Structure 1
Amino acid sequence: MKAMILAAGRGERMRPLTDRHPKPLLPVGREPLIGWHLRRLKEAGITEIVINHAWLGRQIEETLQDGAAYGASIAYSAEGEKGLETAGGIATALPLLGDEPFLVVNGDVLTDIDFTAAKQRAASLRSQRHLAHLWLVGNPEHNPSGDFALADSGMVRSTGESGGRMLTFSGIGVYDPALFADTPPHQAAKLAPLLRAAMDAGQVSGEAHSGLWLDVGTPERLAEADRLAQAW
């Protein structure tokens, strides 16, 4: 199984820290933020990794190189300074990801979500005729209304009107490449509309994660991530 780490965001809310360094390279404990994902992916036996980048992306390649220091093999998908949004970035990287379901991880979160479980979810995705499996978390203060609804059946809905509790998308999911079949590469495109369409077709499953998850989107949350990482 391959994994993609999304690392192309500009990090506007993290400025001025991101004026000179891309957000994934900001220090969190003994590692750059992205390093925690690389180590945990390796622990889960996922070593073929694609990383997209945009703003100051050359620094990411120079720092991580081929991934050998993390026991991984890294391929890079460069998008230019502006980036292509999430779906556009994934669609552009599909030639590097292959034809099988793959894991995608937002590069700006700190979490202990079990990446080993992602391999199990990927294995069953096509037998269930699903296009995605998402990890959802409790709603943080900056997103009190949540993003999607998780039904008792384990299916994810676009709203809570059809039942289920509204939770926040963790930024971590397993996707079938078919989800991006109509998304042209090298063009900006958002992920949420694709997911909502698949949800409405009954093709997205999910699960709630109650452990560590932090959206490292501001200097204050970066400091919190650094504190949490000291205990790892």
Structure 2
Amino acid sequence: MKALITAGGRGTRLRPITHTLNKHLVPIANKPMIFYALEKVAQAGIKEVGIVIPLGDKEIEAVVKTGSKWGLRIKYIEQTGGPLGLAHVIKISRDFLKDEPFLFYLGDNIILSDLSEFIKDFEKNKLDCLLALSKVKDPQRFGVPEIKNGRIVRVEEKPAQPKSDFAVTGIYLYNSHVFEAVENIKPSARGELEISDVHTYLIEHGRRVGSREITGWWKDTGKPEDLLEANQLVLSNLESEMKGEVEEGVVIQGRIKIGKESRILGRKTVVRGPVVIGENCLIENCYIGPFSSIGNNVEIYNTDIENSIIFDFSDINCEARIVDSLIGTNSLITSAKKTFPSGHKLIIGDQSQVEL
């Protein structure tokens, strides 16, 4: 069995972060998002992986490299023609997939479950397709299965009136019959080859389409609030590790992971976990609250931070409280009280969000 992982798309809902960074490299608990997909694939015993990237993209390969870190062999597949739907991703990957069964994993999904059980179900029941389902509060955001007598009879993409409270998550298993479907479906009203239409085609043509509900949590990280929630979920399983320096008098509470060469200073400093702090950071006279991820080479002074993701090389000294925030690479945040004339001085890119 092979695996196919998506790492394309424009990430429009995560702008301005994704103006300069492929969304699959956005850090969750200080680890690029796509690493979680690669870890799950490797854990399931799969060795050969195709990663579908935008045409001309070099970012993903520069970070993931050959995949040897996970014991994987990775081939990069450029998506020509732009983002034309998930079924199009499968279509352009046929030379890599051949006629082997494969796991299709959307690289912006993060799950707790071991995928081995899904693969066992798929193989044991001789299925042509297996869909991983999860109950959600807002199924209209996803592909939604219509279920009758315990069987999926149809899948609708982002329906206005969902016929169940299940979402088809970004994890699928297929055999070679999927290529018949992708070759025969037509583009949707938005001009894409929809993966939901693939599933409906398989069902209507008598193929064996099964499902399994995900146990534990699953998160599609399409929006900023989703990133923060995914960060919370990952940090909930954090194991403490202290590789940096913690000055006497600093208060450390809960599960904290501190990287090499980082220094936590100041008798006013409190770090309350779960919190992860990267390498070569300097934090002084701060409160770093639960569910915060601080990247590498970050400096923070005289600031409270909670439930936020701070990217690498940021510099923060603002005598204020920052919550529920994403702060991009090389950001500078200072106090408006320290400069004249007084007031908030802002340099803000397209599609930014600021609350003053």
Secondary structure, counterpart of 1:74 in structure 2: strand
- Mapped partners of 2:215, 2:135: distance in 1: 7
The equivalent residue for 2:204 is 200
The equivalent residue for 2:15 is 15
Give the counterpart letter for 1:206 in structure 2. S
Using the TM superposition, give the Cα deviation of residue 41 of structure 1 relative to its aligned residue in structure 2, in angstroms. Answer: 1.6
The equivalent residue for 1:177 is 176
Q: Is the 8 A contact 2:49 2:73 kept in 1?
A: yes
Q: Is 2:223 the counterpart of 1:218?
A: yes
Cα displacement string for residues 76-106 of structure 1 (whole angstroms, at most 9, x for unaligned residues): 1111472332111111112112312111111
Higher normalized strand content (fraction of residues): 2
Cα displacement string for residues 173-202 of structure 1 (whole angstroms, at most 9, x for unaligned residues): 101122122535xx9622121111222344
Q: Is the 8 A contact 1:150 1:166 kept in 2?
A: no
The equivalent residue for 2:30 is 30
Using the TM superposition, give the Cα deviation of residue 38 of structure 1 relative to its aligned residue in structure 2, in angstroms. Answer: 0.8
Give the counterpart letter for 2:194 in structure 1. K
Q: Aligned Cα RMSD in Å?
A: 2.5
- Residues 19/133 of structure 1: CA separation in 2 closer, same or farther (3 Å cut): same
The equivalent residue for 1:143 is 140
- Mapped partners of 2:142, 2:193: distance in 1: 24
Using the TM superposition, give the Cα deviation of residue 5 of structure 1 relative to its aligned residue in structure 2, in angstroms. Answer: 0.9
Using the TM superposition, give the Cα deviation of residue 206 of structure 1 relative to its aligned residue in structure 2, in angstroms. Answer: 0.7
Report 1 or 2 for greater relative contact order, CA contacts < 8 Å, sequence distance ≥ 6: 1
- Residues 95/159 of structure 1: CA separation in 2 closer, same or farther (3 Å cut): closer
Secondary structure, counterpart of 1:143 in structure 2: helix
Give the counterpart letter for 2:166 in structure 1. L
- Mapped partners of 1:200, 1:183: distance in 2: 14
Using the TM superposition, give the Cα deviation of residue 114 of structure 1 relative to its aligned residue in structure 2, in angstroms. Answer: 2.4
Q: Is the 8 A contact 1:102 1:122 kept in 2?
A: no
Using the TM superposition, give the Cα deviation of residue 144 of structure 1 relative to its aligned residue in structure 2, in angstroms. Answer: 7.2
Secondary structure, counterpart of 1:52 in structure 2: strand
Q: Is the 8 A contact 1:103 1:118 kept in 2?
A: no
User: Structure 2 stretches of 5 or more lacking a match?
Assistant: 157-162, 238-356
The farther-off stretch of 73-82 and 43-52 is 73-82
The equivalent residue for 1:167 is 166
Higher normalized helix content (fraction of residues): 1
Q: Is the 8 A contact 1:94 1:177 kept in 2?
A: no
- Residues 56/218 of structure 1: CA separation in 2 closer, same or farther (3 Å cut): farther
Give the counterpart letter for 1:172 in structure 2. I
- Mapped partners of 2:91, 2:59: distance in 1: 23
Number of positions where the alignment pairs a residue of Structure 1 with one of Structure 2: 223
Percentage identity across aligned positions?
Answer: 27
Cα displacement string for residues 12-70 of structure 1 (whole angstroms, at most 9, x for unaligned residues): 11111111111111000131111011112212211211110117731001111111122
Instruction: Kindly name which structure, 1 or 2, has the bigger radius of gyration based on alpha carbons.
Output: 2
Q: Is 2:83 the counterpart of 1:83?
A: yes
Give the counterpart letter for 2:235 in structure 1. Q
